[in-house]
Amino acid sequence: MSLRHAALGLLALRGEASGYDLLGIFNESLDHVWPATQSQLYTELGKLTDAELVRVVAEGGRGRKAYAVTEAGRKEFEHWLLEEPPTTNRRNDTLLRVFFLGLVPTEQGREFLLGRAAAAAEMHDRLRDVEGSLTDEQGPLAVHGRIALEWGLRYSTMQNEWARWAAQQLDAAESSDVPSAPPAP
């Protein structure tokens, strides 16, 4: 139920904004952290209005509606932010595949893991570029954006190192299973 809280948070940051405005922020700043589709966002703003956590504060041309958080909305947001423990994401597509890697020849398992290492390295490079274009930014969002970015950098480094280590483990397990050529003395 976090799209709801992301929307509340963005409205709290901005003071007021339309669904269209929020969608822009989601696509531009929150895409790596909590993506949202247009459909989902408009639906959620309707629900938030019904629940009186946000309120329409202005209507403009082209049917535009500007929303702002209510007192109840602010309270709900802060409760979520500080009181509710973040749920750890349990599903991991890569680890699920690792679990089944014994079903294919070692060489293919190695390729899979080295492919993951390469993908992590690529992700790291992309984030380094973002970092470069961020250094001259100022303000409080720069601090928190930088912290999130650092997470990505550390995560991709970890994933890269882990995947290369894991490929070695596969090789080690194979050579102990099938000692076709004994180690030189």
Answer whether 3's CB lies under 8 Å from 118's CB.
no
Local structure of residue 53 (DSSP, 8 states):
S
96 sits near a second copy (criterion: CB under 8 A): yes
- Which one among 52, 125, 137, 161 touches a second copy, defined by CB under 8 A? 161
Q: Select 49 or 106, whichever has its Cβ closest to a second copy.
A: 106
- Bridge-based pairing of strands 17-18 and 54-59 is unpaired
65 sits near DNA (criterion: CB under 7 A): yes
The per-type count for the chain, helices as H runs and strands as E runs, is 7, 3
128 sits near a second copy (criterion: CB under 8 A): no
Binning the chain into helix, strand and coil, the percentages to the nearest 5 are: 70, 5, 25
Calculate the CA 92 to chain-centre distance: 13
126 sits near DNA (criterion: CB under 7 A): no
Q: Select 3 or 45, whichever has its Cβ closest to a second copy.
A: 3
Rounded distance between C-alpha atoms, residue 74 and residue 60, angstroms: 24
- Which one among 53, 54, 117, 170 touches a second copy, defined by CB under 8 A? 170
Tokens for 110, please give them: 């190695």
User: How many residues line the site for a second copy (CB under 8 A)?
Assistant: 64
**Choosing among DNA, a second copy, none, which partner's interface includes residue 171 (Cβ < 5 to 8 Å by kind)?**
none
Strand ordering across the sheet containing 54-59: 17-18, 65-69, 54-59
158 sits near a second copy (criterion: CB under 8 A): yes
- Which one among 19, 73, 109, 152 touches DNA, defined by CB under 7 A? 19
**Choosing among a second copy, DNA, none, which partner's interface includes residue 11 (Cβ < 5 to 8 Å by kind)?**
none
Q: Which residues bind DNA (CB under 7 A)?
A: 1-4, 18-21, 35-40, 42-43, 45-46, 60-65, 91
